[in-house]
Amino acid sequence: MLGTHGETAKLLAGGHSLLPMMKLRFAQPDHLIDLGRLAGLKGIREENGTLWIGAMTTENELIWSTLLQARCPLIVEGARQIADPQVRYRGTLGGDLSHGDPGNDHPALMIALDASFVLQGAAGEREVSADGFFLGTYATLLSPGEIMTGIRIPVPQPGTGYCYAKLKRKTGDFATAAAAVTLRLGGGHVEHARIALTNVGDTVIRAVDAEQALIGKPFDARALDEAARLAMAACNPVEDLRGDADYKRAMTGEMTRRALSTAYERAANPARP
Ligand SMILES: Cc1cc2nc3c(=O)[nH]c(=O)nc-3n(C[C@H](O)[C@H](O)[C@H](O)COP(=O)(O)OP(=O)(O)OC[C@H]3O[C@@H](n4cnc5c(N)ncnc54)[C@H](O)[C@@H]3O)c2cc1C
């Protein structure tokens, strides 16, 4: 159907981003293609050390997945902070990622987890890394005629600490600033670090300099200060009802600090939840 209708059609997943866009006349598709009954786009499973999540899996299904709770709790922690229960019953992981909204939370979670996305078009299937998929506001690597079918995530190694720290004004709001982190320790120093930032630029931002400042060093107050400083330097927020740019930059530093501290605690004490 996408092939027949071309750019006059839009895919409809949970509708919780697309329908608001249509109400505002930012999107005016002639045709909606409902993905709701494609069973192959649903489900969560583990295959050879990789998690596969169908694009039409809802936030609520992520939250209640015992597989994700055990094998990838960062997704559960992140999904619980998205919107409100009504939205989470309809909104899908694939829709959240495909929409390309810098305010959406899954892009940062997926970058922190080294995820990749499976995209299918008439010409065939390709798999692209989450890091590099998000090009700008509402712009992604998805080509016209392509659909995201699933998400692949390498199961985090044992001892991987994680955290999604999100500042929002109230339940149901998008982030004022948020940071997704994974962190692993080895031999008394940081062996692996991923830091990705939500809603403080025109798309999700991976704070590469902040990661590099941590890797190979002990996790101490100095390293934490430096990582938070570099995350603030990496972001580029604009003023809106959630605050001015300076406030959002400061909150980016604070969310990075909190996410790293919690991830470190979890990495250092893996037996604790
Ligand atoms: C009140 C409110 C609060 C919200 N708060 C948050 C929040 O805090 N954090 C957050 O992350 N999100 C938030 N959202 C957005 C919500 O999570 C959306 O559900 C989500 O962004 C889009 O998912 P969806 O399944 O509803 O997609 P839809 O709205 O159906 O689609 C969104 C876009 O993606 C395209 N699309 C959908 N699925 C695919 C696919 N498989 N392949 C290719 N293209 C596809 C559609 O064509 C459309 O352009 C909020 C929404 C509302 C209404």
Per-residue pLDDT reduced to its tens digit, 14-31: 999 999 999 999 999 999
Is the shortest distance between the CB of 32 and ligand 1 below 6 Å?
A: no
Is the shortest distance between the CB of 61 and ligand 1 below 6 Å?
A: no
Q: Is pTM, for the whole model, over 0.85? A: yes
Evaluate if residue 273 carries a pLDDT over 70: no
Residue 270's pLDDT is 79
What's the rounded mean pLDDT across residues 29-38?
96
Handedness of CA 247, 249, 255, 258 (dihedral sign): negative
Task: Kindly give the distance from the C-alpha atom of residue 86 to the centroid of ligand 1, in angstroms, as a whole number.
Answer: 13
Cα–Cα dist 81/74, whole Å: 11
Cα–Cα dist 124/119, whole Å: 8
Is the shortest distance between the CB of 95 and ligand 1 below 6 Å?
A: yes
pLDDT tens across 210-257, in order? Answer: 999 999 999 999 999 999 999 999 999 999 999 999 999 999 999 999
Q: 57 is written with which tokens?
A: 């899996």
Evaluate if residue 146 carries a pLDDT over 90: yes
Instruction: Domain 160-268: give its CATH superfamily.
Output: CO dehydrogenase flavoprotein, C-terminal domain (3.30.390.50)
Task: Kindly give the distance from the C-alpha atom of residue 213 to the centroid of ligand 1, in angstroms, as a whole number.
Answer: 34
Is the shortest distance between the CB of 167 and ligand 1 below 6 Å?
A: no
| C-beta separation of 79 from 63 below 8 A | yes
CATH tag for 9-18+40-154 (out of 2.60.120.560, 3.30.465.10, 3.50.50.60, 3.30.56.10): 3.30.465.10
- Which residue has 């295959």 as its token pair? 47
Cα–Cα dist 151/115, whole Å: 7
How far CA 51 is from CA of 48, 54, 150, 153, 221, in Å, comes to 8, 10, 10, 5, 34
Q: Which amino acid is at 210?
A: A
Q: Are strands 44-47 and 147-154 parallel, antiparallel or unpaired?
A: unpaired
CA nearest ligand 1 atom 50, residue: 83
Instruction: Name which of 261, 102, 111, 100 is nearest 177 in CA terms.
Output: 102
Is the shortest distance between the CB of 253 and ligand 1 below 6 Å?
A: no
One DSSP character per residue, the chain reads -HHHHGGGEEEESS-TTHHHHHHTTS---SEEEE-TT-GGG--EEEETTEEEEETT-BHHHHHT-HHHHHH-HHHHHHHTTSS-HHHHHH-BHHHHHHH--TT-SHHHHHHHTT-EEEEEETTEEEEEESTTTEEETTEESPPTT-EEEEEEEEPPPTT-EEEEEEE-SSTTPPPSEEEEEEEEEETTEEEEEEEEEESSSSS-EE-HHHHHHHBTS---HHHHHHHHHHHHHH-----BTTB-HHHHHHHHHHHHHHHHHHHHHHHH-TT--
Evaluate if residue 271 carries a pLDDT over 80: no
Q: Please report, for the chain, the start and end positions of each structural domain, with discontinuous segments joined by +.
A: 9-18+40-154, 160-268
Task: Kindly give the distance from the C-alpha atom of residue 59 to the centroid of ligand 1, in angstroms, as a whole number.
Answer: 10
Task: Kindly give the distance from the C-alpha atom of residue 159 to the centroid of ligand 1, in angstroms, as a whole number.
Answer: 32
Task: Kindly give the distance from the C-alpha atom of residue 97 to the centroid of ligand 1, in angstroms, as a whole number.
Answer: 7
Is the shortest distance between the CB of 55 and ligand 1 below 6 Å?
A: yes
| C-beta separation of 102 from 202 below 8 A | yes
Q: What is the mean pLDDT of the chain?
A: 96
Instruction: Name which of 183, 166, 192 is nearest 252 in CA terms.
Output: 166
Is the shortest distance between the CB of 148 and ligand 1 below 6 Å?
A: yes
CA nearest ligand 1 atom 6, residue: 83
Task: Kindly give the distance from the C-alpha atom of residue 103 to the centroid of ligand 1, in angstroms, as a whole number.
Answer: 11
